């Protein structure tokens, strides 16, 4: 599916409502409205009360991949693809939750949180986090659904945790800050899902600002808002349709390699607490002690922390060409040094490099091993580039990628119900 963010007449009702794609696909604004209506209508069919409605966006990361758990800098942004929650108190200690996307429901007590193998782990983890924070909550009735492609690296899991957490926070007047909610969501992934993720996904989904990215300091957990003015360019995601599993051993292996590198250097430089504190010179000083694999992985992270800061500076100055060059650098670092790419992602970035005059930058995005590539592309060239990608990708991999144009948007919010 391709969705275009141009303000033209929408073909579904002849009103100016957002966008309309070249191929006749319903515009994003109308598609979003359909999702919201379905969530609310399903809730009213299943439960007797009027719900509060929460929008929890996914996120992209413009620069700074695998730097968050190394206390470095990242440059994420919330996007206009989201999970929507209709929620109200159940008046009991039971949570009755229905997932539109999975077409299944669950019911469990907030006093009996036993992780299983499904999406309910994320919700149980959030509830457990409220308890650990000393906040008393009760059960809820909830229906949720959205349009964040699963497995595409757009942080649907963070949106799921954040939206549910925001709903609980609102319904039970817990008064937790957005930073506290981000930490709750991260806790859910750590303890109930088994993924030792950094906090970038949860933070950016909650803190996102309209048409802006966040330069997030993952040590201080503070951010600078970076306005993003793309002019004649757009952000195009191309989904490889390779479904990555971040909880796999490969992701956690990368994290362990970074920790091993820090442990070696810390013995000689006690001030070093993470790769945030390590310079290139320091790494080369201990190259032999680190071993080849750990050295290469750590070198990528040290360079990427620097790239994220330079990228923010380029965006503030409107230097899109320089920003795009850093995107290509990041991709090949992720592919060849950090080894978290895949053949499909490398293929898509190579196609983008053939069109550098119109595709200023491209890279794989997310934890790796599949998902989307992010492309900074001249808007008027999207159609021709899409046709080229479709032809060559299908011929090579025998499957068709999906294309998503995204806009940068506000973080998790309570919205009016239709």
Q: Which of 350, 399, 45, 384 is nearest to 240 (CA)?
A: 399
Angle formed at CA 20 by CA 18 and CA 21, multiple of 5 degrees: 140
Could you give the residue numbers annotated as active site? 201
* Cα dist from 220 to 72, 80, 205, 223, 375, whole Å: 10, 27, 18, 9, 30
Q: What gap in Å lies between CA 413 and CA 19, rounded to an integer? A: 23
* Beta partners for residue 223, in sequence order: 216
Task: Determine contact, residues 144/96, Cβ cutoff 8 Å.
Answer: no
Q: What gap in Å lies between CA 127 and CA 94, rounded to an integer? A: 11
Query: Which secondary-structure segment (H or E) carries 262?
Result: helix 249-266
Residues 6+ apart with CB under 8 A from 87: 51, 52, 54, 140, 141, 142, 164, 167, 168, 171
Residue found under tokens 């898509």: 348
Q: What gap in Å lies between CA 165 and CA 143, rounded to an integer? A: 14
């Amino acid at each position: 599916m391709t969705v275009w963010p141009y303000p033209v007449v929408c073909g579904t009702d002849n009103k100016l409502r957002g966008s309309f794609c070249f191929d006749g696909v319903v515009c994003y604004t109308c598609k979003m409205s359909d999702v919201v209506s379905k969530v609310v209508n399903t809730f009213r069919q299943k439960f007797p009360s009027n719900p509060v409605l929460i929008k929890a966006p996914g996120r992209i990361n413009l620069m700074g991949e695998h730097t968050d758990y190394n206390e470095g800098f990242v440059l994420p942004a919330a996007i206009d693809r989201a999970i929507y929650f209709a929620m109200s108190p159940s008046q009991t200690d039971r949570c009755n939750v229905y997932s539109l996307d999975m077409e299944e429901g669950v019911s469990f007590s907030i006093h009996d949180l036993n992780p299983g193998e499904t999406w309910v782990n994320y919700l149980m983890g959030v509830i457990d986090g409220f308890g650990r924070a000393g906040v008393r909550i009760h059960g809820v009735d909830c229906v949720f659904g959205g349009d964040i492609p699963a497995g595409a690296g757009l942080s649907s899991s963070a949106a799921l945790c954040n939206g549910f957490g925001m709903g609980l926070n609102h319904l039970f007047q817990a008064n937790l800050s957005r930073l506290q909610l981000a930490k709750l969501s991260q806790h859910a992934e750590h303890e109930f899902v088994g993924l030792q993720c950094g906090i970038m996904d949860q933070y950016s989904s909650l803190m996102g600002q309209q048409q802006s990215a966040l330069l997030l300091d993952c040590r201080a957990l503070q951010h600078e808002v970076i306005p993003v003015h793309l002019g004649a360019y757009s952000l195009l995601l191309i989904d490889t349709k390779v479904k990555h599993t971040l909880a796999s051993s490969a992701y956690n292996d990368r994290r362990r390699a970074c920790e091993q590198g820090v442990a070696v250097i810390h013995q000689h430089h006690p001030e070093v607490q993470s790769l945030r504190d390590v310079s290139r010179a320091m790494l080369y000083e201990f190259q032999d002690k680190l071993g080849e694999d750990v050295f290469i992985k750590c070198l990528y992270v040290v360079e990427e922390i620097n790239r994220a800061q330079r990228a923010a500076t380029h965006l503030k100055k409107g230097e899109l060409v320089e920003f795009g060059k850093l995107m290509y650098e990041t991709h090949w670092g992720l592919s060849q040094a950090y080894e978290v790419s895949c053949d499909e992602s490398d293929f898509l970035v190579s196609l983008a490099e053939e069109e550098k005059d119109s595709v200023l930058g491209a890279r794989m995005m997310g934890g790796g091993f599949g998902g989307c590539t992010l492309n900074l592309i001249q808007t008027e060239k999207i159609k021709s580039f899409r046709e080229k990608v479709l032809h060559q990708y299908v011929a090579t991999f025998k499957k068709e990628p999906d294309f998503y144009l995204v806009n940068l948007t506000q973080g998790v919010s309570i919205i009016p119900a239709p």
